Amino acid sequence: MTSEESIEEQTSDLIDQVHHEHEHLRRLFDDLATRFADIAAGKTGADSQDDLVATASEDLEVALEDMLHHFNQEEEVFFVDMERRFPELQSDIEALVQAHEEMTQRTRWLHKQLSKEPEELTRELEVIVDVLRSLSELVDEHTKNETELFDTVLNKIPADERRELLETMRQI
Ligand SMILES: [Fe+2]
Ligand SMILES: [Fe+2]
């Protein structure tokens, strides 16, 4: 990786990577909120409600893991690095961490529900839909705030250091 071109390629990769992950998570939770709401509303087609709940729950479990992994990468790599470089951003970063906490709490609650049998889950569908919808809204809002901050900050970090950041992030 010696030419400027390849460094640039790798650099835009970090910014793209962050955008890609945010879009991925936003869409995932949006879709899941809609799917659970449809099931709760009885839009089940030919499939049994319990089967749909079981499948949607498995997908939700994967989405929750993806989200927690993403938070971890941000808190252990991006936020630490950003705070070191730009101490003036401390309160912005604290607000982002606070939002992670709120989303993690809802995530834990959902995790707990998902360990129940589909029949029991089906009975609790409405409250699950509410929590999932509020989580989805939080993900949306958080992504917006975070993207604004990241776009400003990442462009101020030298290209080779952004590449190192990406590599460190991938180790988590
Ligand atoms: Fe993020
Ligand atoms: Fe975040």
Integer Cα distance of 83 and 37 in angstroms: 39
Range of the domain at 18: 4-170
**Residue 133 CA to ligand 1 centre (angstroms):** 18
CATH label of the domain that carries residue 88: 1.20.120
Q: Is 157 left (phi over 0), alpha (psi -120 to 50) or beta?
A: beta
State how far Cα 114 lies from the chain centre: 18
**Residue 43 CA to ligand 1 centre (angstroms):** 32
- Indicate the pTM of the whole model: 0.82
Task: Give me 155's structure tokens.
Answer: 């462009």
**Residue 161 CA to ligand 1 centre (angstroms):** 19
**Residue 97 CA to ligand 2 centre (angstroms):** 7
Integer Cα distance of 4 and 2 in angstroms: 7
Q: How many domains does the chain have?
A: 1
Q: How does pLDDT run across 119-164, given as a tens digit for each residue?
A: 888 888 899 999 999 999 999 999 999 988 888 888 888 888 888 8
Q: How does pLDDT run across 48-79, given as a tens digit for each residue?
A: 888 888 888 899 989 889 999 999 999 999 89
**Residue 123 CA to ligand 1 centre (angstroms):** 33
Contact between 125 and 36 under an 8 Å Cβ cutoff? The reply is yes
